[in-house]
Structure 1
Amino acid sequence: MDILYWSMIIILFVIAFIGLVYPIIPSVLFIAAAFILYGVFYSFETFTWLFWSVQVLFVILLFGADYIANMIGVKKYGGSKAGIWGSTIGIIVGPFVIPVLGIIAGPFIGAVVAELLVHRTNIKDAIKIGFGSVIGFISSVITKGIIQAIMIIYFLIAVF
């Protein structure tokens, strides 16, 4: 049964990492589900208050990293709140409209279109802002990937 239990836990962790590039998948919920499955299958005794406190802090960091990286990427290249919102919508919609490439094209197109429509930004500046949104998204994925890896490593240290 150990193989089945650990397979389920690992699958949840893998889905969490897939959520890095498909933001519609709530990565943190899959990580938490893996922790809970471990507790149900084996024991919650290994999860101390310190473990849960650290994991909650990492969850807060995950949410903050996503928003802050996108905001910095757009703002650094001269974008506005409209560009941030357009980029965010593009991140969510892009992968479904344009499979594979939509993960990069979505935030770019979203930021460009938002800046053009809302602020009537010239095309050159709008493209620069779109590029900034892609930089923000990629840095967000990297940051969240590192945080998720640390959460899982800490989990593994706690249980072994």
Structure 2
Amino acid sequence: MDTILLLLGLICVIAGVFGSFMPVLPGPSISWIGLLLLYLTTAIPNNYWVLGITLLVTIVITILDYVIPAKGTKKFGGSSYGVWGTNIGLIVGFFIPIPFGFVVGAFLGAFVGELIYDKQDKKRALKAATGSFLGFLASSFVKFVVCIIFLGVFVVVVWQNSGSLFD
């Protein structure tokens, strides 16, 4: 059972890293579940401090994930259409077979969203799309760093307890 929990935990932590760039997957939450699965094994002693602190970080990052893109959009004069456009464009761009399709899709989605909001002012739409895109990049970067840290915690805990895990 420990091996299954260990593998599921590793899969969750790695999926969280990929999910840090996709709005469909809550990257830090999935990574935290991976840590939880690791600590549910009988070979790893429970460390409630690690689980509690990482849960708190996950909650804060999840809240910031909604705040940062909105602030970026508002700072550059955008609307919620730009934020929604960024998320939709990101998903569409992820499936388009071009290099960095999710980045291009996110920017174009924000631009189209802002054009839907105000068809007349293309310059404002471009500025707002830039703000929405920068907010998305900042939010994704923070989530990515947190997920990489969670992956590091996972690896270190497994490494430190490898004697009892693989007996």
Tell me the TM-score normalised to structure 1 length. Answer: 0.77
Quote the Cα distance in structure 2 between the aligned partners of 1:53 and 1:40.
14
Contact residue 20 and residue 28 of structure 2 kept, 8 A: no
Quote the Cα distance in structure 1 between the aligned partners of 2:145 and 2:32.
16
The residue that corresponds to 1:15 in the other structure is 15
The residue that corresponds to 1:31 in the other structure is 31
Quote the Cα distance in structure 2 between the aligned partners of 1:21 and 1:31.
13
Q: Which moves more between the two structures, 57-66 or 146-155? A: 146-155
Contact residue 95 and residue 103 of structure 1 kept, 8 A: yes
Quote the Cα distance in structure 2 between the aligned partners of 1:108 and 1:94.
10
Quote the Cα distance in structure 2 between the aligned partners of 1:23 and 1:99.
19
CA shift, 1:63, in A, is 1.1
The residue that corresponds to 2:53 in the other structure is 54
Tell me the TM-score normalised to structure 2 length. Answer: 0.74
Structure 2 spans left out of the alignment, 5+ residues = 161-167
Quote the Cα distance in structure 2 between the aligned partners of 1:29 and 1:119.
35
1:75-90 matches, within 5 Å, as 75-90=74-89
Supply the AA of the counterpart residue of 1:37: L
The residue that corresponds to 2:118 in the other structure is 119
SS at match of 1:24: coil
The residue that corresponds to 2:164 in the other structure is none
Supply the AA of the counterpart residue of 2:37: L
Deviations 1:110-131 (A, max 9, x none): 2211221223351122122222
Note closer, same or farther for the CA distance 1:121–1:83 as it changes in structure 2 (3 Å cut). Answer: farther
Supply the AA of the counterpart residue of 2:55: V
Quote the Cα distance in structure 1 between the aligned partners of 2:97 and 2:84.
19
Quote the Cα distance in structure 2 between the aligned partners of 1:83 and 1:30.
26
CA shift, 1:55, in A, is 2.1
Quote the Cα distance in structure 2 between the aligned partners of 1:121 and 1:17.
39
User: In angstroms, what is the RMSD of aligned CA positions?
Assistant: 3.0
Deviations 1:5-31 (A, max 9, x none): 755543432221111223323323432
Q: Percent same amino acid at aligned positions?
A: 29
Note closer, same or farther for the CA distance 1:54–1:155 as it changes in structure 2 (3 Å cut). Answer: farther
Note closer, same or farther for the CA distance 1:61–1:91 as it changes in structure 2 (3 Å cut). Answer: farther
CA shift, 1:79, in A, is 0.5
Contact residue 73 and residue 136 of structure 1 kept, 8 A: yes
